[in-house]
């Protein structure tokens, strides 16, 4: 009886640990920060957010033309809308906790409003200033510099797998009792 109990406990633990080893981070979410170039003091404020799915990343860390959510100045940019021209995010596959290294985008939110910019996490001074383009009257507004906020890495739900394994173990134990 004790041997069966120990055997079942080891089986449940090994099953649970096999699932937790497969739990990789799948989403990286970061705020997009904006600094006006009107004054000499660097004061970044949050103007948007980007969330990318690492399942769309290639082996070199490039995520092209795919995002889970992209909000800019309160506008949601639809990944399935064909009005955007460019979207490339680069992530270090060996250090996903560091977040997005670079982001290059040129998106059209409405037929009359486009955003373009480049963000380099390692060299914010090299980040090309963000531009807002009004397509209705062909005017370009150069607004300031962009940077990334703190990265948030969202893991797959390994806790749910552990919970379901425990419930299955309890159900099997109750059935045999």
Mean pLDDT score of the chain, rounded to an integer? 76
Task: Give domain limits for the chain.
Answer: 1-23+158-177, 24-155
Handedness of CA 167, 168, 174, 177 (dihedral sign): negative
Nearest residue to 21 (alpha-carbon basis) of 176, 155, 174, 163: 155
Tell me the average pLDDT across 43-67.
87
CA distance 4 to 124: 61
Tell me the average pLDDT across 45-54.
88
- What is the enclosing helix (H) or strand (E) of 100? strand 100-110
Q: Any idea what DSSP says for residue 59?
A: T
Residue 96 zone, left/alpha/beta (φ > 0; ψ -120 to 50; rest): alpha
88-141 per-position pLDDT tens digit: 999 998 888 888 999 988 887 777 777 888 888 887 666 566 777 777 777 777
pLDDT-above-90 percentage for the chain: 7
């Amino acid at each position: 009886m004790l041997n069966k109990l120990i055997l079942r406990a080891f089986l449940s633990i090994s099953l649970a640990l096999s699932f937790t080893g497969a739990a990789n981070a799948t989403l990286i979410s970061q705020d997009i920060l904006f600094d006006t170039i009107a004054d000499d003091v660097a004061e970044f404020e949050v103007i948007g957010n980007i969330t990318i799915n690492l399942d769309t990343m290639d082996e070199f860390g490039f995520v092209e033309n795919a995002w889970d959510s992209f909000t800019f100045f309160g506008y949601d940019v639809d990944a399935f809308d064909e009005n955007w021209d460019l979207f490339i995010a680069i992530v270090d596959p060996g250090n996903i906790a560091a977040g997005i290294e670079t982001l290059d985008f040129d998106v059209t939110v409405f037929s009359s409003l486009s955003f373009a910019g480049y963000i380099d996490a390692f060299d914010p001074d090299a980040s090309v200033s963000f531009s807002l383009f009004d397509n209705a009257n062909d005017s370009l507004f150069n607004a300031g510099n962009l940077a990334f906020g703190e990265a948030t890495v969202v893991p797959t739900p390994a806790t749910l797998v552990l919970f379901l394994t425990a419930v299955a173990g309890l159900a099997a134990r109750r059935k045999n009792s």
